[in-house]
Structure 1
Amino acid sequence: MLRDLDRDRYLACLLSPEDKRPALAALYAFNAEIARIRDAVREALPGEVRMQWWRDLLEGNAHGDSQANPIAAGLLQCVETYRLPPQILINLLEARVFDLYDDPFENRNALEGYAGETASAIIQLASLILDPQAAAKSAEAAGHAGVAQAMAGMMLLLPLHRRRGQVYVPVDILSAAGLDRETFLAGEDKERITAAIEIFSSIALDHLAHARKAKLDAACFPAFLPVAIADTVLKKAKKAGASIFEVDIQPSLLRRQWLMTKSVFLKRF
């Protein structure tokens, strides 16, 4: 399931210590399952019901036989074995409710908060699995890296989000470029849309630069492997500008494998 839904994190698992792979796969599969809820429901309410099922599970109030769900069973075992804080996962669920609706982020802080509760949290939890003591030293790097990774993902999915009527570019960035939600979705004002994409991508690249400068313990490095794709994606997005609605900026699978493998050897994402 992880291989099919999140190939980058699946590859990161394969490049991680063998004894940690089952737990990392369980964590990443949970993340992929939550991320695809919007695709599985037609309205927000059924999506919130699914989110609540996972919330109840993590709070110890599981419905039915949770062991029948392999992702749930794997996640619970992972949480117990590595003493992961369930509240971080619950916060991730609460942040992901945003995905079920079409309202944009009000400002950059709201966007960064969302990314921190989702992508950054997954990196930090993966770091705890890899080495609990080293994870604390890598928290700042995880924070910035997760924001960059989340924003790169938003650029990759921008054509899909547009078809849905979703906008992940915050209102203050749209306003700075002379746009609002409707004109951005219309896609006709190429010059201003290009400006908005450039601002967005530059902010993400700035977070990536901060992550690379932050202290990172080598034991936690595999948790950062999926971030190795972000630099390429964000630079392609910035170059594409308004044409990002029509141009595929996703690097090929071979290219993504190469970027992560190179990252392992260079110890740089």
Structure 2
Amino acid sequence: MEPLSYCHRKVAPPGSAIYYALRFSPDDQRDALVAVHAFHAEVTEIPDEVSDPGVGEVKLQWWRDEVQRLFDGTPRHPVSQALAPAVARHDLPADAFTEMLDGTGMDLAYGGYPGFRELTVYCHRTGGSLARLLTAVAGTGSAASAHFAHDLGMALTLRRRLLSVRRDAQSGRVYIPEDELEQAGVSREDLLGHETPPAARTLFREQADRVHAFLDQAESHLPDAERAVHRSGIILAALDRALLREMAKDNFPLLEQGFELTPLRRLWIAWRTARQQQRLSRKAA
């Protein structure tokens, strides 16, 4: 299969959040963005695909070698082959790819995090490296975009892990800090249930509030002049906000049901958000 087609099938099927984030991104960024998202998916899905951490480590090492091949100009995997033009055109940093692999290594090594400080390291390596690559594609290279990438990456990772809290717990991994679980009176065993107890709903709301705070911080960093080129990431943030609001409407019953926006609503949010960012950047110019 042609490398870019593989990437689109992997992470951006029609109607998905990434599909619309790409659809309204600048034309000259689209191929690079889908390749970056596909790399993130290939790597971060490894812990969900294997039951033996040793097998996961073997897969991770293969990807470490593949990143080296990518930067040597001899990629083998369709995702790496799709990334090759992006690496050259946008000067994507190699260490962002290896950081993402290090984050996945934490998935294989750790089942929990004592406090938020330790969890921040994980979020920085997985989501932060993704957002760093997305902003590198935008090409501004400003301090503002670096701060935007950090906070966006934190938010994207925390939201993703909040939505998959029960599935992660079934795999022996919990991404809510242990001290916050204890303070809320929620045990790891509670996260395996089929009904969300009141204490867990309160805890999940607090986690969602943290995601909102990082999203607010992320957008506050960007000057209006840079918003249009970063609109793909801003669209992802807007879609996450809407998803969090849907969870809040039902008071976070995350152990018994999943949440997903309809394709039509995703389209509306993405279109509206893209227009807002373009308008702000035009006014700033």
TM-score category of the 2 structures, normalised to the smaller one: 0.7 to 0.9
2:152 is matched by which residue type in structure 1? Answer: A
Quick check: 187-196 or 245-254, which moved more?
187-196
> Matched residue pairs, number?
266
Match of 2:237 in 1: 227
Is the CA contact (8 Å cut-off) linking 2:21 and 2:235 kept in structure 1? yes
What is the aligned partner in structure 2 of residue 195 from structure 1?
A: 202
**Which of residues 62, 83, 86 in structure 1 aligns to 2:91?**
83
Q: 1:25-78: per-residue Cα shift (whole Å, max 9, x none)?
A: 21111111112222322322111111111112223499xx95442112122332
Q: Which residue of 2 aligns with 1:55?
A: 64
Residue identity in the other structure for 2:239: I
Superposed CA deviations along residues 217-237 of structure 1, whole A, max 9, x for unmatched, are 222232332222111222333
| TM-align CA RMSD | 2.6
1:124 aligns with 2:132: yes
Give, as a single letter, the amino acid of the residue that structure 1 aligns with 2:137.
I
Deviation at 1:143, TM superposition (A): 1.5
Deviation at 1:242, TM superposition (A): 5.6
After superposition, residues 250-265 of structure 1 pair within 5 angstroms as: 250-265=260-275
Match for residue 9 of structure 1 among 11, 18, 34:
18
Query: Which residue does 1:104 correspond to in 2?
Result: 112
Return the alpha-carbon distance in structure 2 between the equivalents of residues 204 and 225 of structure 1. Answer: 15
Distance in 1, matches of 2:89 and 2:263, equals 32
- For residues 189 and 252 of structure 1, do their structure 2 counterparts lie closer, same or farther at Cα, with a shift above 3 Å needed? closer
Q: Could you say if the C-alpha distance between residues 19 and 123 of structure 1 is closer, same or farther in structure 2, counting changes exceeding 3 Å?
A: same
- Structure 2 SS opposite 1:243: coil
Q: Could you tell me which residue of structure 2 aligns to residue 170 of structure 1?
A: 177
* Structure 2 equivalent of residue 40 of structure 1: 49
8 Å Cα contact 1:173-1:200 kept in structure 2: no
Q: Choose from 16, 25, 36 the match for 2:34.
A: 25
- Counterparts of 1:85 and 1:53, CA distance in 2: 19
Q: Determine if contact 1:116/1:147 at 8 Å carries over to the other structure.
A: yes
Alignment check: 8 A CA contact 2:169 2:188 kept: no
Q: Distance in 2 between matches of 1:200 and 1:170?
A: 10
For 1:65-119, what per-residue CA distance to the aligned partner results, in whole angstroms no more than 9, with x for missing partners? Answer: 9544211212233223322110111011101123335611221122222222222
Give the TM-score normalised by the residue count of structure 1.
Answer: 0.87
SS in 2 for 1:250: coil
| 1:138 positional shift | 1.4
1:154–1:168 Cα contact (<8 Å) kept: yes
Letter of the structure 2 residue corresponding to residue 94 of structure 1 = D
Does the residue aligned with 1:244 lie in a helix, a strand or coil?
coil
- CA deviation after TM superposition for structure 1 residue 187, in Å: 5.9
Kindly indicate whether the alpha-carbon contact (under 8 Å) linking 2:38 and 2:79 is maintained by their aligned counterparts in 1: yes
Comparing 66-75 with 14-23, which one deviates more in the overlay?
Answer: 66-75
Distance 2:186 2:165 in 1: 16
Unaligned runs of 5+ in 2: 1-5, 279-285
The structure 1 segments of at least 4 consecutive aligned residues displaced by more than 6 Å after TM superposition are none
3-state DSSP of counterpart to 1:205:
helix
Contact 1:120–1:144, Cα closer than 8 Å, also in 2: yes
Query: Which stretch of the first structure deviates more once superposed, 109-118 or 84-93?
Result: 109-118
Inter-partner Cα distance in structure 2 for 1:9 and 1:109: 29
Q: Secondary structure at the match of 2:25?
A: coil
- 1:48 and 1:77, CA in 2 relative to 1: closer, same or farther beyond 3 A? farther
Q: Contact conserved, 2:234 with 2:273, CA < 8 A, in 1?
A: no
The percentage of counterpart residues that share the same residue type is 25
State the alpha-carbon separation in 1 of the partners of residues 85 and 150 from structure 2: 25
Measure, in 1, the Cα distance between the counterparts of 2:74 and 2:50. Answer: 21
